[in-house]
Structure 1
Amino acid sequence: MMRAVPAHIPEALAASNVGTWQTGQSVHHYIVDEAAAALFGLDAAKAAEGFLLVNFLRAIHPGDRELFRDRIGRSIEHGGLFVMEYRTTPRPNEVRWVLGRGRYERNAVTGEMQGRGILIDITESKLDGHIEDRALFIAPDAGGSALERAATLALETREAIQEIDGSERPVLVRAIDTLLWALGRVLARHATGGRD
């Protein structure tokens, strides 16, 4: 069953170059936020109305498109976790690196497959050589376990760090992203019953 995301999480995600997505009328229709729309060069004003999957496929780098189509197709058909790093081309001569993470589950009442997840812009990490500092996490429930509360606080800390001026900010961002990555791995392991 899909869980509601606490109200403060979307703002923290946007400050962290993280977008959100969820299926709309079908598994071929996606409602995204402005950050996610920008990663694909889609009109942010229409993001809440949603876009067909084909609109996202067009913006995926040709070198990653076939693999993406295969993986998303298997996730839509069978359900489960979807994790993939790929490139998008939101505008001519622009390439963004994206880490996508989500989950597809069948609705117990309607039998329809539904999905929800996040898209993390990791372009800076790819360009500055700090690939190991990628953030990977899942949105925790409010008032959950100590681990989930730690992830929430880390997201809020990253949002505050983005407001810091000066040369210290990049170092602090990398440090908090490393923490988010570690928390995300542990949360993901717990969500899958201990399997990576």
Structure 2
Amino acid sequence: MSPTSEILTAERILEATEEVLRRHGPAKATVVDVARALGVSHGSVYRHFRTKAVLREAVTKRWLDRTTATLTAIAAGDGDPEARLRAWLAALFEAKRRKAGDDPELFATYHVLAEENGEAVGTHIADLTAQLARVIESGTESGTFTPTAPTPTARAVFHATARFHDPSYAPTWQQPDIEAQFEAVVELVVRGLRV
């Protein structure tokens, strides 16, 4: 089946944009390149995404949402809040580290795009801290954690663990003792929250 015989959807455009970004990088990738990869005119792409900036923001959001989806299940789950907090932080670290290690070119591209798309990143961080707040609130309600305001505490936990999820720290994620460093920070955070 040729690319033009398939229905052009926003999802297909985002997939093609990701491939174009992987090949050309954010500085050289154009909407014309995306259209060419899909076998359509660039006007067809613009019918779904009115500007290049909107397309880049959508592809950034899609990339960030992949991490959010994985973490949502942990945050919304039942069970011991401390175990959920540990699992959530570990899953966040693993997701970011996997993205950086499995596809370093695309990770570098998304790092640039994330800096361009502050709104998408802000929404992503708000989603993640809201998930953390739910876990912390459940810990407070169960008597596992000291009573605290969940949202500011979640922000503090997020910032305290930034070294293990902020893309600017990606070069350190390959250090031989990074797991021990991560466990030490998580243990300190959890101890600070316990009753």
Which interval holds the TM-score relative to the shorter structure?
under 0.3
Larger C-alpha radius of gyration, 1 or 2? 2
**Which of the pair is proportionally richer in helix?**
2
